[in-house]
Amino acid sequence: MRKDHYARFDGIVLFTRKYKENDLLIKIFTKEYGKRMFFVKNIQRQNNSLKEIAFPYMRASFVGTINDQGFSFLNDTGNIQFPKTTIDDIQANAYAAYMTGLTDAAFEDFIQEDKVFDLLWQGLGKIEAGVDPSVVANIFEIQLLPKFGVAPNFLYCAICGQDSGRFDYSMAYAGVLCADHFHMDERRLHWSPRASHFIRMFSQISYDRLGEVNLQVSTKAEIRQALDDLYEEYVGIHLKSRHFISQLETFINPLDDKREKKYDNS
């Protein structure tokens, strides 16, 4: 039986897509109702007030009809937080697209996910405020891993429980190993101490505690490679937005070949 109801809700625009000649589909991650596809008719009309929310990464309050099947519909918006800085800056835009793409891939539509909603809302806010978008995205993708059905242990050694010192990641143990137990896995990932330190930190930190972050390019590359390895092993999705980030990083740092670097922490 089909159900629909009129509601007010907070939402984040994940993406927009043209539909027929003059209409638009807007995928919105709502706090109350999960991810929904909204149909907006005659989006090109001058007097259509919904034109102002037809942008990805837009955060706002909405009023509309929520349908349990098919499209939902929008009537009005308020408290709009327009992502001007994010849209205008190519790096910020790329990382925001990656975060929204991961969100769309991590779980089914219609499922309420309060924690992920708050994480994405705050993360996009940090990018818009000028915080390094690569760091914001790193935190997001680490903390989103459980929604893909995996929960790596970054906090303490999988063998002895040690929670301080040098660590490296072991796929075999699905978590970090302390230096005393590096010998337990010859195929561990050889994370650098810097990458290990920040990944462990990023797995726990909340965005409201995140201030200005300045990481060296080499450290960012080490973190990026480590997380790419984890996502390839555990998740196996290949988003276009992630590929674009790789191209962008190569363009910005053409002499920095991230794919060949492995830290020797033996």
What are the tens digits of pLDDT across the range 167-215?
Answer: 999 999 999 999 999 999 999 999 999 999 999 999 999 999 998 888 9
Q: Cα(158)–Cα(161) distance, rounded to whole angstroms? A: 6
**What are the residues whose beta carbons fall under 8 Å from the beta carbon of 264, sequence distance 6 or more?**
190
Confidence at residue 52, expressed as pLDDT on a 0 to 100 scale: 82
Instruction: Reduce the DSSP state of residue 26 to 3 states and report it.
Output: strand
* Residue whose C-alpha is closest to residue 14's, from 101, 83, 143, 112: 101
- pLDDT at position 132 over 60: yes
Confidence at residue 191, expressed as pLDDT on a 0 to 100 scale: 96
Q: Where in the chain is the domain with CATH 2.40.50.140?
A: 5-82
Given pLDDT bands bounded at 50, 70 and 90, which one contains residue 253? Answer: low
Confidence at residue 46, expressed as pLDDT on a 0 to 100 scale: 72
pTM comes to 0.91
- pLDDT at position 248 over 70: yes
Q: Where in the chain is the domain with CATH 1.20.1440.120?
A: 86-252
Q: Cα(133)–Cα(131) distance, rounded to whole angstroms? A: 6
**What are the residues whose beta carbons fall under 8 Å from the beta carbon of 108, sequence distance 6 or more?**
none
Place of tokens 């063998």: 159
Angle at 42 between CA 36 and CA 47, to 5 degrees: 110
* Residue whose C-alpha is closest to residue 140's, from 112, 167, 118: 118
Please tell me the class of the 86-252 domain: mainly alpha
* Residue whose C-alpha is closest to residue 195's, from 175, 176, 221, 171: 221
- For residues 141 and 203, the answer to whether their CB atoms sit within 8 Å is no
CATH code of the region 5-82: 2.40.50.140
